[in-house]
Amino acid sequence: MKIGIIGSGHVGGTLTRRLSALGHDVTVTNSRGPQSLGDLAAETGATAGTLEDTVQAAELVVVAVPVKAVPDLPAALFDGKLVIDADNYYPQRDGDIPDLVDRSLSSSRWTADHLKGARVVKVFNTIQAAHLMDEGKPAGAPGRIALPVAGDDADAKRVAMELVDELGFDPVDAGTLDESWRQQPDTPVYGTDRDADGVRQGLAEARP
C-alpha cells in the first residue's frame, strides 16, 4: 500500500521502519519539514515529504502527533482518506482540552470531528514503540500481543486489522470510535501487552 505517516517520533518513526521493511511505499512527514527527515529516509527507504505530499498520495494515513496538534491539520486534505489515529491524550503535554478532560468524547471521536470526511480507525495507541518494533510474531505464535482496533467504518477497520496482523500482532475488534475510550491511557489494555483474550477481557472491564 501507499502509506503516509504524519509524525516521526516514537510511534511514527517505528511504523515508518516496520512498514517500509514490509515493502509498503511509505512517505513520512513532520512539523519540522522534509529536510529534518533525511536520516530516517536514508535508513528506511521511505520518502520524506510535505504534509500535502504525504496525505494526497496515500491509501492509508497514520496520524501519530501530539493530540494538541490535530486541529492544525487541514481537514479538507483528509476527506475520504482512511486515517489511523495512533494518538493518546496526555493533559500534561496537550493541555486542557475540555471535551477530553471530562471524557465526554473519546480522543478518537474528537480527532474524527476535526477530520470530517476521513474514515478514522483507532489503533497502535496501546503499545510501547519498542514493542511495536521488536515484539511482532507470526499468527498463532504463543504470546502474540494483541492490539484493539476501533472504528465506525467496517471496511476501514478491516484494512487496519489486516495491517496489524501483517506487523505481527493479533487485531481485536474494539467497537466504534465512541467506544475507543476503552483503550485510552489508564485502562486495562493500555501498555499491558495482553493476548487477544486478555484484550477482550480488558476492554470489557474498562470503566469510564
What's the average model confidence in pLDDT over 150-155? 98
What's the average model confidence in pLDDT over 96-105? 95
The answer, yes or no, to whether residue 12 has pLDDT greater than 90, is: yes
- Cell numbers for 158, please give them: 478491516
Percent of the chain with pLDDT over 70: 100
* Per-residue model confidence (pLDDT) at position 71: 97
Q: How far does the chain reach from its first CA to its final CA, in angstroms?
A: 36
CA distance 94 to 169: 29
* Per-residue model confidence (pLDDT) at position 208: 87
CA distance 111 to 122: 10
* Per-residue model confidence (pLDDT) at position 184: 98
Residue 171 pairs with which residues in a beta bridge?
A: 147
What's the average model confidence in pLDDT over 14-40? 98
Mean confidence (pLDDT) of the chain: 98
pLDDT tens per residue across span 191-203:
999 999 999 999 9
Strand-pair category, 146-151 with 60-63: unpaired
pLDDT tens per residue across span 56-66:
999 999 999 99
Percent of the chain with pLDDT over 90: 99
The answer, yes or no, to whether residue 143 has pLDDT greater than 90, is: yes
From the list 91, 154, 94, 84, the residue with the least C-alpha distance to 115 is 84
The answer, yes or no, to whether residue 166 has pLDDT greater than 90, is: yes
Question: Helix/strand/coil (H, E, C) string of 160-174?
Answer: HHHHHHHHCCEEEEC
What's the average model confidence in pLDDT over 90-111? 96
